[in-house]
Amino acid sequence: MSIAISPEVAERLRGFEAPERLGFGSVMAPVMFRAVYQDGCWSGGELIPYGPLQIDPAAKVLHYAQTCFEGMKAYRRVDGSIGLFRPEKNARRMAYSARRLCMPEIPEGMFLEAVRCVTAYCAYLIPAASGESLYLRPLLIGTQPDLSVSASNIYEFYVIASPSEAYHSGNMRVWIERDDTRAALGGTGDAKVGGNYAASLQSVAQLKARGYDQSLWLSPSDRKQIEELSGMNFFAVIDGQLHTPKLSGSILEGVTRDSLIELAGTLGYRVHEREMDIDDLLALIGSGTCSEAFACGTAAIISPISVIGDAGHSVSLPQVPGPVSTALRSALLDIQEGRAEDPFGWMQQVEPASP
């Protein structure tokens, strides 16, 4: 595939002025990738100025949530080069999410080219301080204007980007959600689709009123096993070893989760992927056997958990951030930012483009 570069791109890139404070995911790069699927095939993609979409109010995505997305980062590395972190994992996950919602897969080659193209043209926008990055958001929507409940026959694929500061979630207070679930058995919990997040918002709104930051979701069948947070996977350090819920079908398989499992092995930590009963974990924290808990995802990498709140009583973690979370976070960021060897071949270099 060759990507058509719109003639306005050069001017948009030249005219862009980043504000003093970037925040995370709030400043959008001035260009975006777009491709359209119609009559059973994808158009050639194009790099165009960033801007609002024209969308028919009857578009299926607006009614039936035929939409999935990805979240990934490009880093400016210490030698000045630009590196994408495991983009093929995001390509494959997006293909999985698309299939689950009866949407056409984005061919892996097109996904990777689109992400590389946006990264290349936005390279000069990538901030250089440790933890800063270009956050990339691929997005697929079904846009056929038709109110019948069936799969759309027209789709649009976008890649937008946001030059971002480090995502500081601080130490998180999480609340055990014992009533709602974010994902059903046999539902879409293991796909990165918009509906999962809509389903999580009520719980988060309620716990914020109680002074908490995030919901800790439990197994939808019996509300006994820990699953994850609304956009991050869960780990605990028990007796110096790492424990994380094994994939259940309703847990989203995070790229960060997968990377930490691999990395932990090389740092000498044993990792257990298993069913994690929430009440057992509370007891292990109470007795001091569980010394750390944290959430992980692309945005924050690792967010230490300070308190786990429950209707009956709440427990506090003794070390926030603890030594294991701190070591894992630095080890991963060192690979991403080029301070350490990349024994897994996770980083893919992107040559900056000049418009």
Ligand X SMILES: *Cc1c(COP(=O)(O)O)cnc(C)c1O
When the beta carbons of 31 and 331 are compared against ligand X, the nearer one is: 331
When the beta carbons of 45 and 297 are compared against ligand X, the nearer one is: 297
- CA pair distance 73, 214, nearest whole angstrom: 23
Q: How far is the CB of 284 from ligand X (least distance, A)?
A: 23
- Note whether 194 binds ligand X by CB under 6 A: no
37 bridge partner residues: 42, 155
Q: How far is the CB of 317 from ligand X (least distance, A)?
A: 20
- CA pair distance 266, 160, nearest whole angstrom: 34
Please name the residue ranges forming H helices in the chain: 9-15, 60-64, 87-100, 108-121, 194-209, 255-266, 278-286, 323-336
When the beta carbons of 31 and 278 are compared against ligand X, the nearer one is: 278
Q: How far is the CB of 189 from ligand X (least distance, A)?
A: 7
**Out of 152, 162, 233, 325, the residue judged to bind ligand X by CB under 6 A:** 233
Quick one: CA dihedral 293, 200, 300, 73, positive or negative? Answer: positive
The interface region with ligand X, picked from 173-181, 226-234, 285-293, 318-326 by CB under 6 A, is 226-234
- CA pair distance 213, 207, nearest whole angstrom: 7
Decide the pairing of beta strands 155-164 and 31-38: antiparallel
Structure tokens that stand for 273 in this block: 């992927």
Write out the binding residues for ligand X, residues 280-309 only, by CB under 6 A.
297-298
**Out of 104, 187, 195, 254, the residue judged to bind ligand X by CB under 6 A:** 254
When the beta carbons of 71 and 322 are compared against ligand X, the nearer one is: 71
- Per-residue burial over 111-148, b if 16 or more Cβ lie within 10 Å, else e, is bbbbbbbbbbbbbebbbeebbbbbbbbbbbbbbbeeee
Q: How far is the CB of 260 from ligand X (least distance, A)?
A: 9
**Out of 255, 264, 300, 302, the residue judged to bind ligand X by CB under 6 A:** 255
Backbone angles phi, psi at 167, to 5 degrees: -90, 110
DSSP 226: E
**Out of 9, 232, 236, 264, the residue judged to bind ligand X by CB under 6 A:** 232
- CA pair distance 54, 149, nearest whole angstrom: 22
- Per-residue burial over 12-32, b if 16 or more Cβ lie within 10 Å, else e, is bbeebeeeeebebbebebbbb
Q: What angle do CA 90, 278, 316 make, to 5 degrees?
A: 95
When the beta carbons of 103 and 255 are compared against ligand X, the nearer one is: 255
Q: How far is the CB of 295 from ligand X (least distance, A)?
A: 8
Q: How far is the CB of 10 from ligand X (least distance, A)?
A: 32
When the beta carbons of 30 and 254 are compared against ligand X, the nearer one is: 254
Q: How far is the CB of 297 from ligand X (least distance, A)?
A: 4
**Out of 256, 306, 325, 336, the residue judged to bind ligand X by CB under 6 A:** 256
When the beta carbons of 59 and 260 are compared against ligand X, the nearer one is: 260
Binding mask 69-108 for ligand X (x = CB under 6 A): --x-------------------------------------
Which positions touch ligand X (CB under 6 A)? 71, 192, 228, 231-233, 252, 254-257, 297-298
